[in-house]
């Protein structure tokens, strides 16, 4: 249960990070490296899969 709570927290912080990236991308027409966003999304997917 403790590990699950840690994963939930990690997932939440990754999702927040993703949201910040999206906001920054919308504000500046210049795209930051797509690799970083994809890496974050992959991490969120991985964590989501683990939580199921």
Domain residue spans of the chain? 2-51
pLDDT score of 12: 93
Look at residue 4 and tell me whether its pLDDT is greater than 80: yes
- More confident: 16 or 50: 16
Q: Where are the alpha helices (DSSP H) in the chain?
A: 2-27, 34-51
> What is the four-CA torsion angle of 36, 26, 15, 40, rounded to 10 degrees?
-10
pTM above the 0.75 mark? Answer: no
pLDDT score for 34: 59
- Chain segment 9-38, per-residue pLDDT in tens: 999 999 999 899 888 777 765 655 556 778
């Amino acid at each position: 249960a403790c590990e699950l709570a840690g994963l939930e927290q990690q997932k939440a912080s990754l999702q927040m990070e993703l949201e910040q990236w999206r906001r920054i991308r919308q504000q500046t027409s210049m795209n930051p490296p797509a690799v970083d966003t994809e890496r974050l999304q992959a991490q969120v997917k991985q964590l989501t899969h683990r939580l199921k």
